[in-house]
Amino acid sequence: MSFSQVNKRIGSVTIPLVLIRTKSALDIGCHELRLSHRSPTSGRGRLRDIPCSCPLAARALSEPLFSNRLLASANLNDRALLEPHFEAVDLPLRTQLEIRNKRISHAYFLESGLASVVAKGAKDSSIEVGIIGREGMTALTVVMGGERAPHDTFIQVAGKGHRVPADCLSHVLECSASLRRLLLRFAHAFFVQTTYTALSNGRSKIDERLARWLLMAHDRLNGEDVPLTQEFLALMLGVHRPGVTGAIKILTAAGLIEHKRGSIKVLDRRRLEAASNGAYGLAEAELEKLFDDRE
């Protein structure tokens, strides 16, 4: 199916036909050129290897790429399918992206900041089950064919992103097997992350869990500071807030972090990984497989 057919098909369902922006059109031209070279489907990394004399294509390549790793590793055709539906959004602290048991309105591809998926139990007890930053997206329920959010998802470190209406995402996924595969593979990596969260919540000490969580946040943020209050950290780790104080003290005394009110600075990442006592690393390796396979 050609891109124009795909776009018309989307238009005939519920979404008005959107004019493709110049950059997307250039991307398509380049994608077709690449296909004529019998290259395998791939992301931007491989594109640089393809001899392309078109000056417009060269200009398209020099444009800023997405910081979001899923978007950056999507092939050009898939990006062109998604981009017309994108809305750039600021994501201030505590923005609620999904509400438990409610229909998901948008999928968010974060360019910066951090979102947290939080499960709520009886008597208002809550615990974080996963975090999402610029490596991924929210609305995995939609990617997997559902409509209603199982948990609350909110912004815990302010950032920016692109959002696409959930129904548009569903239609685009029906049109592109490669995008479906990419986003499902991220859903798998996120599932693996939650399994290791379960393991560390059940088996690791608070300071080991704190080390793991800080590393996960550090992976997804720019700079060395993780701007989070203890109140948030307690929710992330599933403990009472004063319990976080002791764990921070242990990591601080070892020279791994520096604690200021409302922020923690990572001083020695390598030793912080060791301090997680195995709680950090395996889920991250699973995520890296997703991106390695595409480069």
Partner 1 sequence: MQRFFLHIRNGADSTNDIEGSILPNVEAAGQLAIECARELMAEAVAHGDRVGLNRVFDIKDEVGTLLLTVSFRDAIDLSDAA
Least spacing, CB of residue 76 vs partner 1, in Å: 47
List the one residue from 197, 200, 230, 276 that touches partner 1 (CB under 8 A).
Answer: 230
Which listed range, 86-94, 151-159, 179-187, 229-237, lies at the site for partner 1 (CB under 8 A)?
229-237
Question: Do you know the residue count of the chain?
Answer: 295
The yes or no reply on residue 199 touching partner 1 (CB under 8 A) is: no
Among 26, 166, 189, 239, indicate the residue that binds partner 1 (CB under 8 A). 239
Cα dihedral 211/215/221/226 (nearest 10): 10
1: its two tokens: 């199916």
Q: How many residues bind partner 1 (CB under 8 A)?
A: 16
Interface segment toward partner 1; rule CB under 8 A; list 61-69, 99-107, 129-137, 225-233: 225-233
Place of tokens 């996924």: 173
Round to whole Å and give the CA distance between 217 and 132.
9
Q: How far is the CB of 260 from partner 1 (least distance, A)?
A: 8
Q: Residue 259 interacts with partner 1 (CB under 8 A)?
A: yes
Our CB check for partner 1 shows the closer of 27 and 208 to be 208
Q: How far is the CB of 248 from partner 1 (least distance, A)?
A: 9
85 neighbors 148 (Cβ within 8 angstroms): no
Residue 231 touches partner 1, criterion: CB under 8 A: yes
Phi-psi category of 223—alpha, beta or left, where left has phi over 0 and alpha has psi -120 to 50? left
* Out of 246, 271, 285, 295, the residue judged to bind partner 1 by CB under 8 A: 246
Per rule CB under 8 A, is residue 205 in the interface with partner 1? yes
Q: Residue 262 region, left (φ>0) first, then alpha (ψ -120 to 50), else beta?
A: left
Least CB distance to partner 1 at residue 243 (A)? 5
d(CA 273, CA 236): 18
CB of 21 to partner 1, least distance (A): 46
194 forms part of the interface with partner 1 (CB under 8 A): no
**In this complex, which beta carbon is closest to partner 1, that of residue 77 or of residue 204?**
204
Q: Which of 29, 150, 243, 278 binds partner 1 (CB under 8 A)?
A: 243
126 forms part of the interface with partner 1 (CB under 8 A):
no
Residue 255 within binding range of partner 1, rule CB under 8 A = no
CB of 205 to partner 1, least distance (A): 6
Nearest CA-CA partner of 69 in 158, 183, 213, 170: 183
Radius of gyration of the chain (CA): 21
Tell me whether residue 261 or residue 270 sits nearer to partner 1 (CB atom).
Answer: 261
Residue closest to 281 by CA, chosen among 201, 203, 222, 200: 200
Distance CA 274, CA 286 (A): 19
273 closest CA partner among 225, 217, 214: 214
The position carrying tokens 């995008």 is 179
Buried b (16+ CB within 10 A) or exposed e, 192-227: bbbebbeebbeebebbbbbbbbbbbbbebbeeebbb
Task: In angstroms, give the least distance from the CB of 212 to partner 1.
Answer: 15
Residues of this chain, 2-41, that bind partner 1 according to CB under 8 A? none
Is the distance from CB of 162 to CB of 68 less than 8 angstroms? Answer: yes
Binding footprint of partner 1 on the chain (CB under 8 A): 205-206, 229-231, 239-243, 245-246, 249, 259, 261-262
